[in-house]
Amino acid sequence: MQYIENFKGETLEKVPTSVFVDYEAWFYGCKNQYHVGPDIMGWFNHVRDKGELRDVIFFADFSQEAIKDHPTKLRSISASIVDCSKGDKTKDYTDFIMLDHIYQHLFRRQEIKHFILFTGDSHFQSIVAFLRNFNDKKVGVYAIEGSLSPLLMDAANWHTKILPTNERNNSLEQAVLNNLIWVQEKSDIIATFRKTVSVVARNNPEFSEDDVFSTLSKMISDGIITQEDATLPVTGHAVKRLIYDNKQ
């Protein structure tokens, strides 16, 4: 993942900072434009250097099938996860709920000097301008490359465009291989497809189980990983053991 940064010639001091993430926009921006999932930990390691983080708040309609399990992954970073589910209503309330939380922080959390938003939506231009021009706050914006509104970009002190790259896929493949190498050193563990997907996703929360499933399937079809018949030692069930020859 690449980060394309623009600070408009400003040098930012590390001050108390709150981060507001439209996770819905992030997830679908990655999926629809680049066919990958969000690199959650990679981004967090990047944003944590932007200030003294006091809050990282994620917003999304988690009733949607594609992201209903993602709060578990996000809790590896923050417990502040706001479900913007709309029930049987068709209107999308995620932006409105996120805006409300930003205003609440402005008026109730006077110690916050730096606001960081993860969104490319022009709807947030007004609040960014209000924070900067009338409240003397610094405001930064993260957005997926190709989704950042020029109006929002101009309103902020700085912006960072995120460009997902194939490096992420290579990182996921390596995570799968590292897990198999570790398992193969244990004589009492058998690496199955389902268990490997679960363990790799749990140990690498920037990747979803769907990401691991797709990558592992491709690695098997490409011959990087092979399968052989095996029997589970406790239950006696027949399974397919995953094999990686790290000497090839």
User: 224: which 2 tokens?
Assistant: 């990087």
- The DSSP call for residue 215 is H
Give the pairing type, strands 52-60 and 16-22: parallel
Asked whether residue 123 carries a pLDDT value surpassing 80, the answer given is yes
CA-to-CA distance for 102 and 115, rounded, in angstroms?
8
Asked whether residue 242 carries a pLDDT value surpassing 70, the answer given is yes
Average predicted confidence (pLDDT) for the chain: 89
DSSP string, 123-186: GGHHHHHHHHHHH--EEEEEEETT---HHHHHHSSEEEEEE--THHHHHHHHHHHHHHHHHHT-
Cβ count near 204 (within 10 Å): 23
CA-to-CA distance for 12 and 183, rounded, in angstroms?
45
Could you tell me the residue ranges of all domains in the chain? Answer: 2-163, 167-243
Asked whether residue 206 carries a pLDDT value surpassing 80, the answer given is no
Q: What is the mean pLDDT of residues 214-226?
A: 85
- The DSSP call for residue 7 is -
- The pLDDT value recorded for residue 48 is 92
**In terms of CATH architecture, what is 167-243?**
Orthogonal Bundle (1.10)
Of 3, 13, 5, 51, the residue nearest 158 (C-alpha): 5
CA-to-CA distance for 140 and 116, rounded, in angstroms?
5
Give the list of residues 6+ apart from residue 69 with CB closer than 8 angstroms, or none.
Answer: 208, 209
- The pLDDT value recorded for residue 168 is 56
For a pLDDT cut of 70, what percent of the chain falls above it? Answer: 93
For a pLDDT cut of 90, what percent of the chain falls above it? Answer: 55
Residue with tokens 């000097």: 113
pLDDT digits (tens, 9 = 90+) for 55-103: 999 999 999 888 998 999 899 899 999 999 876 555 678 999 999 999 9
Give the list of residues 6+ apart from residue 205 with CB closer than 8 angstroms, or none.
Answer: 40, 41, 73, 76, 77
What is the pTM assigned to this prediction?
A: 0.68
CATH homologous superfamily, domain 2-163 = 5'-nuclease (3.40.50.1010)
